Structure 1
């Protein structure tokens, strides 16, 4: 699709400018399937992707009757605050089952992308760092600045012009950047990503040995 092509082109451009696809990174996205697919195509099928929990909760709540919204939001928050990813997943699945009768479409939506909604928990990150990295809020302010600056343009001449204005807007947004609240815990993210990469390397070796046998 067009969205998939755009997402892939974006990542190809980043790699072409020096982003090493062999380095294990945590990608935090809003839930776009095309972007998730492009990330895995570029950086590997086991690349950690965290889907924004704020977007997820909002999308679910908007499809529910008001009488159910508060309870569902509370259940999701409880799941996301757990240190045990398996227990968190079980809680979310139980929530989906409870909604099967009253809101079957929402029940399916809760389970959609479940493998990506608990990534920061599966990585074993401290709870404070999980709260910062479990959503895209850390870039929403920059996105808002880009929209505010670029809305002054009435006619876009070409892609180069769009890039220049976007870059100018990002420089403007950078003036208001602040440290991540849990920035002192970032070394734990590096360790978790290294461990994740090592585990998957071992699993791939075992798979290849099994195929060869």
Structure 2
């Protein structure tokens, strides 16, 4: 475990329902008497939220993959210092919508062969992995359709199109194979309540253990 708490991350392609499932899991654990911090990346602290606006808005070619790696790592460091680690040290359950695995995929794999750069920076500046990562898996076309239907301002990565989402899905599945001790794959194509039930069972089993 990280500190004395439990660190849970949600990963998956855009539109997979991660944010919804993170909120539902937080509600589930709070109802069971757990002290929960629900957060997100990029963001989760004042400084990291400022960086979020830089990286998720604007044209797809606004930043190079290398620049994005630096921005995401800076945001993650601030998030870790100000939100995640203090909560873990206090024995809380931290639920984070995305963490370093998203950077490994978006910038490290899907936009160039930069995985080694991401991992090296992560070791130097972050040094923390989630105790449990829930991968909400679904077909890329379905996820992209959901993501674009939101019509929000943070659609920079969705605008890269379905090819990026296909590469992302394949990459996340490879990560689940690479780190089987912390990844659990959840079928995100089910109804929301069914996905939430699968997530709750997986987390409850880890908390008991």
Pick the structure with greater CA Rg. 1
TM-score (norm 1): 0.29
1 or 2 for the larger relative contact order (CA 8 Å, sep ≥6)?
A: 2
Higher fraction of strand: 2
TM-score (norm 2): 0.29
